[in-house]
Amino acid sequence: MITRTAAQLASLVGAELDGDPTLVLTGVAGLEQAQPGQVSFFGNKKYKQALEATRASLVLVPADQPRGGHAATFLRVPTPHLAFARIAQQFHPAPTWPAGVSERAFVDPGAQVDASATVMAGATVQRGATVGARAVLHPGVFVGEGASVGPDSVLKSNVSLLERCQVGARCLLHSGVVVGADGFGFALDLAVPEHVKIPQTGVVRVEDDVEIGANSCIDRATTGETVIGRGTKIDNLVQVGHNCVVGPFSILCAQVGLSGTTELGMGVMMGGQSGSAGHLKIGDLAKVGAQSGVMSDVAPNATVIGSPVLDHRDTLRSWALFARLPELHQQVRELQRRLDALEKKP
C-alpha cells in the first residue's frame, strides 16, 4: 500500500497545511465516497453539503475556505482540482512493463525497435517503422510502414498508426484510435456519374505529450500534414478531418468533429458534440460550447455557443427570448386583432 503524510502532500503541491502534519493518507476519493485515511477535494460551492458530511481525513480546499467545525485536515491551495490531480498520481503511479518484443508479436526485420521498448503479443511493426525508447505497444497495435512512435509513448490495444504517420514523445493513445486513415476527399464526375477518390498522400503528425481518447480518428492530409499540437488532449469518439491543424494545449471533448482544413489556435476548448465547417480558423484560447456549430471564423479569446455560433451572451439572450415565443406570439395576434378593428372604424 502506498502511503503519504499530510506534510509530504502539502510540500508536493505547495499548500498551506491546516491540521495534523503527521496524518497518514492511503488514497484518494470523491467527497461523498471518501473514507478515513483518504484525500478528497472541494472546489465548487455546489458541493458544500458534501464537504460538511465527508469522512475524508484530508481535503484540498481554496485558500480562503473557512474551517468552520470541520475535523478534517485542510490543505489550502489556489486550485484544488489541480492539486488533487498531482496527489492522485502519488497513489496511482503509471504502470510499467518489462522491455522486449514478445515472441507472438510481428516486427519486420526492416523496422527499428529500441531495446528498452515493449512490444506485446499480437502487435505488428512494419518495415521502416521506428519505435522509440521505453515506448509500449499493447496487443493488437499496428504500426505501418515508415511510421514512428516516440520515446515513452503508450499505444493501447488495437491502435492503428498507419504508414508514415508520426507520434511524438510521451503520448498516450487509447484503444481503437486510428491515426492516418484516408481523408474524406472525392471529386464528383457527373458524366459517369461517380465520386472520384482523391489520393490522400499526406501524413498525420502528433506532437509530444498528446493524449487521444478511445475510438477517435485523425485523418491523414490530402497533401502535407494533419497536425495535433503539443500537449493537446482529445476525448473519446472525436473526428479530426484531413489537413486540420490543432494548436498546442487544446481540448477536444467527446464527439467533437472537425471538418477538413480547420485550424485551431493555442489552448482552444471545444465542448462535447460541437463541430466546425471546413476551411476556417478558431483563434487562440477560444471556447466553443457543447453541441455548437462553428460556421465561420472565431476570434481569439471568444466564447461562443449555439448553432450557428454567436457570442455566448447574445445566444443566452436569444434562448431566453425563445422560451417566451408562445406568449409573444399570442400578444402579437391580440395586437393584430385590435389593429384590424381600429382600421375598420369610420
Task: Return the active site residues.
Answer: 242
Pairing of strands 118-119, 4-5: unpaired
Alpha carbon distance, N-terminus to C-terminus of the chain: 94
Determine which helix (DSSP H) or strand (DSSP E) holds 327, and give its type and residue range: helix 325-344
Write b or e for each residue in 279-290: b if 16 or more Cβ atoms lie within 10 A of its Cβ, otherwise e: ebbbbbbbbbbe
**Can you read off the three cell numbers belonging to residue 16?**
498551506
Q: Tell me the three-class secondary structure of 180-206, residue by residue.
A: EECCCCEEEECCCCEEEECCCCCEEEE
Q: Please give the Cα distance from 25 to 37 (Å, whole number).
A: 5
Q: Please give the Cα distance from 72 to 345 (Å, whole number).
A: 79
Q: Which of 256, 249, 252 is nearest to 234 (CA)?
A: 252
The alpha carbon torsion through 293, 299, 305, 309 (nearest 10 deg) reads -40
Query: In the block, which residue shows the cell 490531480?
Result: 85
State the angle between helix axes of 312-323 and 325-344 in degrees (0 to 180), rounded to the nearest 10: 60
Q: Please give the Cα distance from 113 to 12 (Å, whole number).
A: 36
**Can you read off the three cell numbers belonging to residue 77?**
491551495
